[in-house]
Structure 1
Amino acid sequence: MSANETNRLANIEVSGTHYEVGLQLGRFAADLVHSYTLPSDVWRKVMEYRDDSRVQIMRRMVEERFPTYWEEMRGMADGVGVPFDDMVLWHFRGDVWEMPPEGCTTVQIPGDEPIVAHNEDGSPAQISRCAMAKVQPTGSKGFTSFIYPGTIPGHAFAVSDAGLVATINHIGAKVSGIGLPRTLLGRALLDCDTLDDAIDLLQTSPRSGAYHVTLAQAGDNRIFGVEFTHLNCSVRKIDYPQCHANHLIHQGISDERQDITNSSRARQKRAGDLVEGTANIDPLAVLWDKSDPDLPIHTTDTLATAVFHVGKKSIDWSVYDRIGEPPCYSSHKG
């Protein structure tokens, strides 16, 4: 496994114990975490919560409920070369502190063989240590996930060996509280056996922060969109083509206080217009749309676009890191 110096999305493979998985991922990204993440205002702000009483309770919750992911974070800390307590707190960043606005747009197309497609938006400064990571932890389900430097997998997009597709969108909910951090819930989705198990995990777990999750699985023609916050969890079966950006839109939960950026509002409307009443939708045409030069769907922060064809026995999927170019990653998971 080697670091990527080309500003293209790397492909890496890691395996071993959960600690060893975290260690390898940490070593892969260590230089960028030290040069970019640690000096950042976001890191400094999150570290101000070291003594927050919520953090101590949430640490205990994670260690008790998710001991294997606790070990992944321990390995990540050692691989990066930062104190373990700081690494754990970094994984709570969207829960204990109101994060700056983040992007991502998802297209959901139901049918006998559904399609899920997703723009992953983040900081372009991180792209050299982002990657498509094929991960095989000892004694647990394997998966392939988009990863960010310094964070364990599960908070972008992924496909597990159970054929489960999960895509994640940031939600800027104003209310958070004591519960399991959203990043760790995203990681736990990759160990679920079925769609129903994944939904049950999100519905029944005590939640701290907020995400939108799209879920699909090979052999099951259902797609679900899940909006969860500290206070509520809304599950919507997708029965017609829809899109989701970065704010709550489900009836009964969208009244919660939240940050809605101009970009999220514009992407939600434009993507919805493109799929509404349209036959033979091309998800790439939707996610690569730049018809609004000021508030496009595909932004300067779009790091990758993934398209998942959910079949009866397999997931055929591709990841693109350049508009109009061949995919940088393709897989037949079945």
Structure 2
Amino acid sequence: MVTPEETSHRLGWLEAGGSHHELGLALGRQGKRAVRERLMGTPLWREVTAARHLPLVRRLQAATAEHFPWVAEELEGLAQGLELPLEAVAAWNCRGDLLASVPDGCTTLVLPGEAPLIAHNEDGLPCLDGSCFLARLRPAGQPAFLTFCYPGSLPGHTFSLTAAGLVATLNNLRLVGITPELPRMVLSRALLAEPDLAAALVLLETAPAGGGFHYALAQAGDSEVLSVEVGGGGFSCRALAAPTLHANHCLHLDLPQAITASSADRQRRGEALIAAGERDPLTLLRDTSGPGLPIYRRAPDDPDEENTLATALFRLPSEDVAWQVVVPGEAGSREGIGLY
């Protein structure tokens, strides 16, 4: 086992607590070098922070301040820690609302039952491989949480476990033709503050329209796992009774969307492996065989500009959720019980 305190590994570690501004500041400082040296030179950063998006970004900033002022405080702290203009950092955290297709991929596998397992490939920009980090954060007045963080981004849109017992893994949905009213990454950050699964569902169902996310959600001590698709003002929730894989397109929310070749191929291959009886989560999520583009994505020329940066496993229904994070190129794994 690799403990979080060991720092000689490709996946970094951050411990922070305090006000939301202080959390954002710590996150910004942790990601500053990677954002400046790896991210800001990419075509995606230039596209998202282009001046033509500024009016919409300002409207989404105002909506964030209205609905979740404490998330706005985290964004301000994040920008300060990165030493970048707030509007550029806000735009980056609205990327899935400004553009129909961004390289925030991911694949989630759910194996339901009396002792369910949620497993998740976190797929993102290859230029950030080796610059991401796990964070154990303790916001004042809210549940602490453990989460996977990208440099320059709010926490909450990857995979997370909270002290309230919520487990959440997220996949990008490429919805088209939406008019965003609240950034999807603000909503996913707000979800980590909810006291339980029921409250999290109310939050997602009643939220203003934004970009699309698929959530796999579960509560410690409960064997039920939910598949929730949200975006564009739509909401669809299903309880999962059979092994299920979810890539980067809606499976039960009926909204216009773009389905890339990678997403379609991963969905087909995962369903074929499940139908053939495969139940080992790492075998499924590290599969590179079969026709089409692979589930486990490490190619430098991936057509969606995404690589698998980490694989997470959450084992329920114990009140103390067991978790494991495996990173390409890193010996062993990081694992723990609950937030530790």
TM-score (norm 1): 0.92
Q: Indicate if the aligned counterparts of 1:154 and 1:186 stay in contact, CA closer than 8 A.
A: yes
Deviation at 1:5, TM superposition (A): 8.8
Checking the alignment, whether the CA contact within 8 Å between 1:209 and 1:230 is kept in structure 2 is yes
Equivalent in the alignment of 2:178: 176
Is the counterpart of residue 243 in structure 1 residue 240 in structure 2? no
Structure 2 counterparts to residues 134-283 of structure 1, below 5 A: 134-250=136-252, 253=254, 256-276=255-275, 278=277, 281-283=279-281
Matches within 5 A, 1:1-334: 8-49=10-51, 52-250=54-252, 253=254, 256-276=255-275, 278=277, 281-292=279-290, 295-300=293-298, 301-322=307-328, 325-327=331-333, 329-333=334-338
**How many Å apart are 1:42 and its aligned residue?**
1.2
Deviation at 1:299, TM superposition (A): 0.8
Could you give the per-residue CA deviations for residues 17-50 of structure 1, whole angstroms, max 9, x where no partner exists?
A: 1111111111111111111222221121112256
> Is contact 1:26-1:75 (8 Å) kept?
yes
> Which shows bigger deviation, 311-320 or 140-149?
311-320
Instruction: Note if contact 1:5-1:128 (Cα within 8 Å) is conserved in structure 2.
Output: no
- CA distance, structure 2, for counterparts of residue 76 and residue 160 of structure 1: 21
Deviations 1:30-86 (A, max 9, x none): 111111222221121112256654333322211021111111111110111101122
The match for 2:302 is none
Bigger mean CA offset, 48-57 vs 117-126: 48-57
The C-alpha deviation readout for 1:83-142, integer Å capped at 9, x for no partner, is 112211221111022333442110011111211000001123213321011111122211
Q: Which sits farther off after the overlay, 7-16 or 87-96?
A: 7-16
Shift of residue 293, structure 1, vs aligned partner: 7.5
The one-character-per-residue Cα deviations of 1:115-172 (angstroms, maximum 9, x if unpaired) are 1000001123213321011111122211000000001101110101111110010111
In 2, Cα distance between the equivalents of 1:23 and 1:133?
13
Question: In structure 1, how many angstroms separate the alpha carbons of the residues matched to 2:318 and 2:120?
Answer: 21
AA of the residue aligned to 1:258: Q
In 1: Cα distance, 2:331 partner to 2:111 partner:
23
Which amino acid in the other structure matches residue 297 of structure 2?
Answer: T
Aligned 8 A contact 2:39 2:127 in 1 = no
Matched residue type, 2:296: H
TM-superposed deviation, 1:323: 7.5
Distance 1:259 1:122 in 2: 18
Counterpart contact for 1:168–1:212, Cα < 8 Å: yes
Aligned residues with identical type, % of pairs: 38
* In structure 2, C-alpha distance between the alignment counterparts of 1:206 and 1:89, rounded to whole Å: 18
- 1:206 shift after superposition: 0.6
1:217-241 per-residue CA deviation (whole Å, 9 max, x = no partner) reads: 1011111111112141111111111
5+ residue gaps, structure 2 = 1-5, 299-306
- 1:263 Cα offset (Å): 1.0
CA contact (8 A) 1:50 1:89 kept: no
Q: Secondary structure at the match of 1:129?
A: coil
Q: Over aligned residues, Cα RMSD in angstroms?
A: 2.2
Aligned partners of 2:96 and 2:102 also within 8 Å:
no
Give the 3 Å change call, closer, same or farther, for CA 102–84 of structure 1 in structure 2. Answer: closer
Distance in structure 2 (CA, Å) of the matches to 1:80 and 1:101: 21
The answer to whether the 8 A contact 1:169-1:212 is kept is yes
